[in-house]
Amino acid sequence: MTSGHFVNDLYAAFLTPLLPMLVAKFDMSLAMAGLLSAVYATTSSMVQPLVGHLADTSGSRAFIVLGPVITATAMCMIGLAGSQALLVALLIIGGIGSGMFHPQGAAMAGSIDQARKGFMLSAFTTAGEIGYALGPLVVLSVVSTLGIRHTYVTVLPGILVSLFIYRFAPRVHAGRPGAKACGSRGRGFSHGGRSSSGRRNGNGDGDDTGNGKGGAMHSRPNNGGAPSRRRGEWVPVGALAMLWVIAAVRLSVSMSFTTFLPIYLKEMGLPLMAYGSVASMFMFAGTVGIMVAGPIADRVGPFKLMVVALLAPIPLLLGFLHMKGLVSYALLAAAGVILYAPMPVITMTAQNLAPARAGTVSAFMMGVAWGAGSLGVAGVGVIADGLGIRMALTLLLGTLVVAAALTYALEMRVRHVPSLLATREPICR
């Protein structure tokens, strides 16, 4: 799963570093540049809920096998696009491929090891972020050597990883009814430093049945949930909706900086590989935050981590936007570490809130939220056309305060029903 995520997101990062050249080639506005990013992300987000549902119910591996090769083929052809219409078509196809991979990949990664679920999702997310961070360097190396029309030469890793997944990916995963459990239950997901381990016995007392003392059915009046058709599980729709908004706001900020950073740095006078390197540094820094986020959340709880990770980047990014030189890049890197940290934690929390729908909720947190965040990128592009990129990004940072307040409200909503955060059993291959 990690290799597939790495390669898939490597290609997903091809668009952003090429934007300065595409803007010049097609004489595009900043609003149109932001819209291109939104096209890819929105397509992926629209596909993911359907794929998540099908993966949960069918267990088919077709999605994770075909996703990377479709993404690779489409994104490698960007340099050959002779019109904006063809460019948009390629981004749509690439978004479909990416949307096919993510829900089932995240669900499988989250189900492998109960005791280290946070670590597993952090590893899965980190692999994607490393690929995303390397993407600009890979594509710009080709472009600087061969020219923009030769981006197609990078397609081979996408083909190979799809073959690799076909050969080695598990044939049964946690989202499928009747999946075989393996191993012992690990400790429960930590909430505010307290264990919320679930249990199961012959009398039906446990988190999966909803009939036990701490079962999810018992907690339903407090969370505005809706009954699931599987296992009698009560799905906390209200809490998941709040978590989704938090994810969308955070993604809007990180995606806006990722999208417009190369254009901003080019305006500041940096050459091709230099602004590509700075953009990669920002995303590499994010992988550090992602790697440590899951284990930290397992210890201190997800909400404390999310509040800090939403507020702390604000002064750092303001410093980057209003300073120059190495100090500004150091601030950007520090902001990347913190800003990206909530990614696996949000997905993990959603899976724990609705364990029988792990693929579906992963699709909403990683996919639909990504699409919503991309619309924020398009909005930033519109503002940037009028006020400049620096002012547009500065104004955007205010949304992180709103997301932090919403995170605190969500913690208050679920803190008295820890069974909703109980993790589920891993499964055997």
Question: Does 163 fall in a domain?
Answer: yes
Is the pLDDT score of 40 beyond 60? yes
Residue 416 lies in a domain: yes
Is the pLDDT at 173 greater than 60, yes or no?
no
**pLDDT at position 179, please?**
46
Q: Residue 223 domain-assigned?
A: no
Instruction: State the pLDDT at residue 243.
Output: 87
Mean pLDDT of 172-189: 41
Q: DSSP 3-state assignment of 316?
A: helix
The mean pLDDT value for 349-376 works out to 76
Does some domain include residue 172? yes
In whole angstroms, how far apart are CA 375 and each of 16, 91, 167, 370?
Answer: 15, 15, 37, 9
Average pLDDT over the chain, rounded to whole? Answer: 77
Q: Which stretch of 6-10, 178-182, 287-291 has the lowest confidence by average pLDDT?
A: 178-182
359, pLDDT greater than 80: no
**What is the per-residue pLDDT for 301?**
79
Each residue of 251-276: pLDDT tens digit? 999 999 988 998 898 888 888 778 78
Q: Does the residue 306 lie in any domain?
A: yes
Q: Which residue has the higher pLDDT, 218 or 87?
A: 87
* pLDDT recorded at residue 87: 94
User: What backbone phi and psi angles, to 5 degrees, belong to 238?
Assistant: -60, -45
- The DSSP H or E segment spanning 286 is helix 272-300
The winner for highest mean pLDDT among 191-205, 293-307, 386-400 is 386-400
Please give the residue range of the domain that contains residue 88. 2-179+233-421
Q: Who's near 310: CB < 8 A, 6+ residues apart?
A: 246, 250, 342, 400, 401, 403, 404, 407
How many domains does the chain fold into?
A: 1
Q: At what angle do helices 84-111 and 62-76 cross, to 10 degrees?
A: 150
How far lies 277's CA from each of 23, 92, 251, 270, in Å?
A: 19, 27, 21, 10
Q: How far apart are the first and last CA of the chain?
A: 13
In a domain, 329, yes or no: yes
**Is the Cβ–Cβ distance between 375 and 42 less than 8 Å?**
yes
Identify the pLDDT of residue 427. Answer: 33
Residue 120 lies inside a defined structural domain of this protein? yes
pLDDT for 310 equals: 94
Q: Kindly state whether residue 191 falls inside one of the protein's structural domains.
A: no
The domain spanning residue 371 has which CATH number?
1.20.1250.20
**Does residue 231 have a pLDDT over 50?**
no
Please provide the DSSP assignment of 236-271 as one string: -HHHHHHHHHHHHHHHHHHHHHHHHHHHHHHHTT--
Mean pLDDT of 408-423: 64
* Residue 101: pLDDT band with limits 50, 70, 90: confident
> Going by C-beta distance under 8 Å and a sequence separation of 6 or more, which residues neighbour residue 405?
none
